[in-house]
Structure 1
Amino acid sequence: MLNAGCRLGLFPLLSAEPGSTAEEVGAGLGLNPRPTQTLLLGTTALGLTTHEGGGYRNAELIEQRLRDGTWEIIEDLVAFEAGIVVPADPDFTESLRQDTNVGLRRLAGEGTDLYHRLTHHPELSDLFYRCMHSWSRLSNPVLVAEADLSGVTRVLDVGGGDGVNAIALAQANPGVEFTVLDLPGAVGIARRKVAERGLADRISVVEGDIFADDYPAGHDCVLFANQLVIWSPEENTALLAKAHRALPAGGRVLVFSAVSDESGDGPLYAALDNVYFTTLPAAKSTIYHWGQYEEWLTKVGFTDVARHAGNTWTPHGVVSARKP
């Protein structure tokens, strides 16, 4: 119902014309009476819209998002769920049985992870990176607040996608330069985004495989933002070891991600999001708990390992460490 309301334009219509009757809603959306009734019954029963005195309005939660300009983020996330996540959801049980991302079979192409498969599907790739950009807009306040870049001159953003994390950090840290490293499907989008924000002189974009290719030299901080949830513990250990080798003495590593509780009972967001991570991105994707990141960082030689919780409705946080 939420997806249908988004795609049909129901919520902007009710924001512009609150109190519209079912007939007026149908006319505005180009729907016949029966589907209009079906849509409005569903959205109202779910609390997405309200019905009083014969007229329909948006629920206050939705109306607030339309007023503050964040509704486009919600629309992007709903589109991501509908276009990429939901088609693979029926494979969740089998993914649990086989201990691998069975849902990837829904996407034709080469490669054993979602990101390589997306290179064969330009429209889905654009949708994916657009939605990851919107998701990062929601979580990046935690990254900006908790990532201490004092004394840092240049950050390597490993698997930096469309550059959203580097852009946010560059805007908050004007004396720091950045390099975004990612696959071909992402770097073209990243270059465009960086140029649009006038940051091409401070943010470089490099095409490469984060496992197979050498990391560009000259960085005193390596950032893994929403990246290590994708890979297995062994792969994450390898990535962190690679960062350790690339950094000079005193260099810093930052891991930014959604994190689960070590108690094993939450948060609910992490538990539910793990359906997606188990089914689709890569063979061993999962939302790890704080202690696992700390263990891997210590194992490969980092010291001064510390956790920085975001304390927001999303369970994001930063784990920092230093190369001695």
Structure 2
Amino acid sequence: MTRPTWDLTDEGMTLIMYGAVAFEMLHAGQGLGLFSHLSKHPGCTARELAAAITVDSYPFDVLLTGLRGLKLVLGNDSGLRNHPLVEQRIVQGSEALHLSFVHTIVNPGISDFADSLRRSTNVGLRHFPGRGDTLYRRLENDQGKLRDLHDHLHAISDSAITGLIGTGALDDCRHLLDVAGGTGREAIALAKHYPDLKITLVDLPPVAEAASRNIAAHGLTERITPVACDVFTDPLPTGPDSALITHMLPLWPAETNIELLRKVRTILPENGTVLLFDAMQNDSRDGPLATVLFPAYFLSVATGHGNFYPQSAYAEWLSKAGFDHIGRFGELPGDHCLHTGVK
């Protein structure tokens, strides 16, 4: 992966200190439809924009000056427009799907980061009522926040799946086990790209139910089979010739990941392939920026464990789990990397 480009400056330090406010400016602009209106009406005046999003002049001034200071909105009161990156990534792209997740899940829980460090557990989970010691168990009965989480995961998948397909690592696969496959976003994309591919998707019961509805909506019920399964405690389905684990291993300690890989290996045939697809840190552990920041959420909220591990860790896990012919495809979209191993 390329070296990080972030360099700390006085203005960068200010942005870090007031980062929570900067995020809420972005979140409000999206939620109020400000960016959407500017996309449809570039060059509109400040007065026209305030009327369009129905915000009074004083609070609108607070919002607009903040957005202009952050360069999210360009121009002056007589003519405003979105920054090209806002247009590309928020309005036209899928990254707006991250915003509710950060607002409703990450930010409340990250307020307990210091206590989570001291106590070595996800103290921020206290903000999410329910049973279980992980966020994923707590959200099983909170459909709103569960949807925010899945939207966030969908945005990651949308930006990264083309990179996975582009490696060609799945070209010879006939029956894929999608381990902790969520609501089926990746499985659906893969099934559409590979018309002869059969997929068995496993995830927790409420997630598997959501996947079933999503798969049916895309007319793929004959090719993608969701199975309710706790991948750590329940038997994995047999029959697939390959297994894909994506966006799951960062949530857990290395020992847990190695044990899961060993479990996956037992259900694969000889010469069966496992594919590990995640955002990863570089081996110098100083970037990319998102991969060194986001683990604070894993510690404080999600599971109390996990990391965006360096690329070298994945090769080590595969070797310890008994896989051979370990391969790597690096510098894929969204800071992703793909590792493969053969039984």
8 A contact 1:221–1:252 mirrored in 2: yes
Residue 66 of structure 1 and its aligned partner are, at CA, apart by 6.8
Cα shift at 1:206: 0.6
Contact in 2 for aligned 1:142/1:310 (Cα 8 Å): no
CA contact (8 A) 2:160 2:332 kept: no
**Superposition TM-score, scaled by structure 2 size:** 0.89
How far apart, CA to CA, are the structure 2 residues paired with 1:27 and 1:299?
Answer: 61
Provide the rounded CA distance (Å) in 2 between the counterparts of 1:79 and 1:301.
40
Matched, 1:21 2:45: yes
Residues 1-324 of structure 1 correspond to what in structure 2 (within 5 A)?
A: 1-52=25-76, 54-65=78-89, 69-70=92-93, 73-146=94-167, 148-312=169-333, 314-323=334-343
Partner amino acid, structure 1, of 2:63: L
Aligned counterparts of 2:240 and 2:88: Cα–Cα separation in 1: 41
Secondary structure, aligned partner of 2:190: helix
Q: In structure 2, do the counterparts of structure 1 residues 53 and 266 end up closer, same or farther at CA, with 3 Å as the change threshold?
A: closer
Matched residue of 2:233: which SS?
coil
Structure 1, 156-165 or 185-194: larger mean CA deviation: 185-194
CA contact (8 A) 1:147 1:318 kept: no
Instruction: Say if 2:71 and 2:83, in contact at 8 Å, map to a contact too.
Output: yes
Structure 2 CA distance, aligned partners of 1:168 and 1:309? 21
SS of residue matched to 2:338? strand
* Cα offset, 1:225, TM superposition: 0.7
Q: Distance in 1 between matches of 2:173 and 2:49?
A: 54
Secondary structure of 2:96 counterpart: helix
* Contact 1:125–1:185 (8 Å) recurs in 2: no
Q: In the TM superposition, what is the alpha-carbon distance from 1:14 to its structure 2 partner?
A: 1.3
> Following the alignment from structure 1 to structure 2, what is the Cα–Cα distance between the partners of residues 311 and 167?
20
Deviations 1:96-129 (A, max 9, x none): 2222222112111111111111102121112211
Contact 2:90–2:96 (8 Å) recurs in 1:
no
- Structure 2 unaligned segments of length 5 or more: list them: 1-24
How far residue 20 of structure 1 moved from its aligned partner, in angstroms, is 2.1
Residue-by-residue CA offset, 1:256-297 (whole Å, 9 max, x unaligned) = 111111122222221112222222211212111122111121
- Secondary structure of 1:261's counterpart equals coil
CA RMSD of aligned residues (A): 1.6
Question: What code does the residue aligned with 1:3 have?
Answer: H
Residue 183 of structure 2: SS of its match in structure 1? coil
Any idea what the Cα deviations from partners look like across 1:122-144, whole Å, max 9, x if unmatched?
21112211221122101112222
Check whether the contact 2:98–2:151 (CA below 8 A) recurs between aligned residues: no
Could you say what secondary structure the match of 2:230 adopts? coil
Comparing 45-54 with 159-168, which one deviates more in the overlay?
Answer: 45-54
* Residues 141-171 of structure 1: CA deviation (Å, up to 9, x unaligned): 2222225123322111110001111112222
Relative to structure 1, is the Cα distance of residues 211 and 64 closer, same or farther in structure 2, using a 3 angstrom cutoff? closer
Number of residue pairs matched by the alignment: 319
Contact 1:167–1:194 under 8 Å retained in 2: yes
Please say which of residues 240-249 and 136-145 is displaced more in the overlay.
136-145
Structure 2 CA distance for aligned equivalents of residues 64 and 318 of structure 1 = 26
Q: Structure 1 residues 245 and 210 mapped into 2: Cα distance closer, same or farther (>3 Å)?
A: same
Shift of 1:53: 6.2
How far does the alpha carbon of each residue in 1:34-77 deviate from its partner, in whole angstroms, 9 at most, with x for none? 0111111011110011123622221122233477x31xx22211
Question: How far is 1:239 from its partner?
Answer: 0.5
TM-score normalised by length of structure 1: 0.94
Do the aligned partners of 2:45 and 2:77 also contact (CA within 8 Å) in 1?
no
For the 8 Å contact 1:253–1:320, the answer to whether it is kept is yes
CA distance in 1, matches of 2:264, 2:237: 11
Which residue identity is paired with 1:49? V
Which secondary structure does the structure 1 equivalent of 2:52 belong to? helix
